[in-house]
Structure 1
Amino acid sequence: MLTYPHIDPVALQLGPVAIHWYGLTYLAAFGLFMWLGTLRLRHPPFASMTGPGAWTRKDVEDILFLGVVGVIVGGRLGYCLFYKPGYYAAHPLEIFAVWQGGMSFHGGLLGVIGSFFWFARTRQRPWLQVADFVAPCVPTGLAAGRVGNFINGELWGRFASPDLPWGMVFPHSGSMLPRHPSQVYQFLLEGLLLFVLLWLYARKERRQGQVAAAFLVGYGVFRFIAEYFREPDAFLGLLSLGMSMGQWLCLPMIAGGIALWLWSAKRG
């Protein structure tokens, strides 16, 4: 049985300015996106595009900026609407208090989809082409975020068997019983494994929309599995059929990904 090694969330203190590890993981995510996006320019069909429709590094930079805006706005609104709608309806000004925490991946995904619609429309590109370009570059950012969760000692897992060799005690949870280090599970599944699978799948030209569809299905399945080991939010607990809110939000994501893949295959 392991004990969570308390890590100071502040990586560097420069006078009154505190640089947090969580912020550094976000910077790492942005840097990885730029690097992978630049490599993605060499993949088909983007490498063979010429003229006004050709993809450039400037496009990667613009997508990153719009994606960050979409993640922040969508992630915050998604958390308020999906997880605590009653509370934020009574305290609407606290929606803007992002420093208090509270972000939703599924809300962030919707925000990113909206920002990519904007990018596709202003650049006169097919939206699914934009989504296919971006999808393989996302999982490493998710992995970086899970590293931040672990450093902060948050989003710990459910209780584990005392015999589990990697069972970990999280004192922040208010219990000294071993738990699953679900942040690590999500780092490995939604981050590294999903990245490898998507990157290999996207290296060959696919029908438009199928790479994005693979991301939706892959993330939805891996997150659904990880939720069985992650402690559900205390104010929600488990919902119908013994599933968490995260699992319920993954179901339409998986269904939408399957539908998009089949539609793309039929459309040709």
Structure 2
Amino acid sequence: MNMRSFSLAELSSPEIGRVAASAVLVLPVGAVEQHGAGLPTGTDALVSAEIAHRAAAPLTGVPVLVAPVLPYGSSHHHLPLPGTLSLRSRTLLAVLGDLIESAAVAGFRRIVLFNGHGGNDDLIRQAARDAVLDLPIAVGAASYWSLGGDRLAELAREAGITHVPGHAGAFEAALTLALGATLPAASSSAPSSGPVEPPREPAYGFAMEHGWIARMGGVTDPITPATREVGERLLDHLVTAFTAYLEAFARDFQR
């Protein structure tokens, strides 16, 4: 099925109506939050949107439309540091539910929430679970780093990157450079050694403590190992992984 564009925002209402029932709609989700002195606050939204568009571009057998990125996420844990605009978790869950319902009313039957922010990870899956209770649709949910597998960690290690995905560290810096973004001038004075230890998951299961992000200084590791070339290798792998995800999702939930 030929489409003039795979970007939902560039198509007219009739064009969308003609393909919605057979298409997969990708809704990228990000965040606006502090990323230390070295990265822009919109990093998560930029990365998720770019991977989604690059993954959709080569798909010919599967009609895929990419919606405009939802730039805000559940980031209240970053509020102690400047630059964070956050939705409460329950608000994000409601927003995602409304967007999925709107897409279903428009005729879409296959929808994928594609996430670029750790604080949204549980919520995108819950939104998918909730949506299919009442709507006759299939909803996928994935965070980009979860699709990269062992190979993503290997590529990072080869470049001297220790935290995948980390936060505001070398991994995200490399991806941001690969997108052609200009890092803030303050990145030259960002931590270059002695990574701050992020919270560890205890042996007995998940646990969190008040104020953990502020104690880390808002970053998990130095950005020093990041280069554009490293970022391009990471990005290529992530795009390939998400392309494979979309193909499998479309195959498993044929309409």
Same fold (TM over 0.5): no
For the pair shown, which has the larger CA radius of gyration, 1 or 2? Answer: 1
TM-score by length of 1: 0.31
TM-score by length of 2: 0.32
Q: Which has the higher helix share?
A: 1
Higher relative contact order (CA 8 A, sep 6+): 2
